[in-house]
A and B are shown apart, each in its own frame.
Chain A
Amino acid sequence: GAVVSQHPSWVICKSGTSVKIECRSLDFQATTMFWYRQFPKQSLMLMATSNEGSKATYEQGVEKDKFLINHASLTLSTLTVTSAHPEDSSFYICSVIGQASYNEQFFGPGTRLTVL
């Protein structure tokens, strides 16, 4: 399966600041990456689909101006939470589609964001 890394693993920031989370596909080129958010004791919620070289597709209810996604290369996608607020505190997880099959998704280890 694919190896996916995320950086940072956790971050604490003050309200109003911006935070950038990186997602890297380490062993193959990923044209599509997904960004999820998971609140405590809840399931994963798809935020957006990140496509290399084009604009991300955001799910309904997700503010594209607040959650900036850049997929500039086949191995890196970034999610920037702008003007973070305490309600943005969550577990952010990226995933990539496997090379062998569209039906495989491999997840990064996740980034825990805490906004004070």
Chain B
Amino acid sequence: GQNIDQPTEMTATEGAIVQINCTYQTSGFNGLFWYQQHAGEAPTFLSYNVLDGLEEKGRFSSFLSRSKGYSYLLLKELQMKDSASYLCAAMDSNYQLIWGAGTKLIIKP
């Protein structure tokens, strides 16, 4: 079956760094997405990885290891506005997104 696993909730301090992990099992693979979702809002796109390695985009970076079925989202210099849910989604061979349940990130001052 297809499955995405990510932690339910994480807590971090403003200004610190946090890493949100995601493991996936899909039928075929066409990339790994990270989305940010604030409460009551739709998800917004953060990153897309299809090749192994680290993609850096400002304070956010995303890593992928296809052989391990593993990805992480790294958030640096955390700000209070980063408090949100972070959704990991893998695209299968039919180009359908398989979604994780999301990781709720709580930022404390």
A residues engaging B (CB < 8 A)? 1, 42-46, 91, 93, 102-110, 112
Chain B residues in 8 Å Cβ range of A110: 40-42
CB-based closest 7 A-B pairs: A107-B42, A43-B99, A110-B42, A43-B101, A44-B99, A93-B42, A109-B42
Q: What DSSP secondary structure best describes chain A's contact surface?
A: loop
16 contacts between A and B (CB under 8 A): A1-B45, A42-B101, A43-B99, A43-B100, A43-B101, A44-B43, A44-B87, A44-B97, A45-B99, A46-B96, A91-B40, A105-B97, A107-B42, A108-B42, A110-B41, A110-B42
Chain A residues in 8 Å Cβ range of B41: 109-110
How far, in Å, is A16 (CB) from chain B's closest CB? 26
Q: Which residues of chain B in 22-53 are interfacial with respect to chain A, using CB atoms and an 8 Å cutoff? A: 30-31, 33, 40-45, 48, 50
B residues engaging A (CB < 8 A)? 30-31, 33, 40-45, 48, 50, 87, 91, 95-97, 99-102
Q: Are A103 and B50 in contact (CB under 8 A)?
A: yes
Chain B residues in 8 Å Cβ range of A108: 42
CA gap between A91 and B30 in the complex, in Å: 27
Q: Are B42 and A103 in contact (CB under 8 A)?
A: no
Chain B residues in 8 Å Cβ range of A46: 96-97
CA gap between A45 and B99 in the complex, in Å: 8
How far, in Å, is A26 (CB) from chain B's closest CB? 15
Q: Are B87 and A103 in contact (CB under 8 A)?
A: no
**Of B30, B45, B50, which is within 8 A of A106 by CB?**
B45
CA gap between A43 and B89 in the complex, in Å: 10
Q: Are B99 and A103 in contact (CB under 8 A)?
A: no
Q: Are A102 and B45 in contact (CB under 8 A)?
A: no
Q: Are B87 and A43 in contact (CB under 8 A)?
A: yes
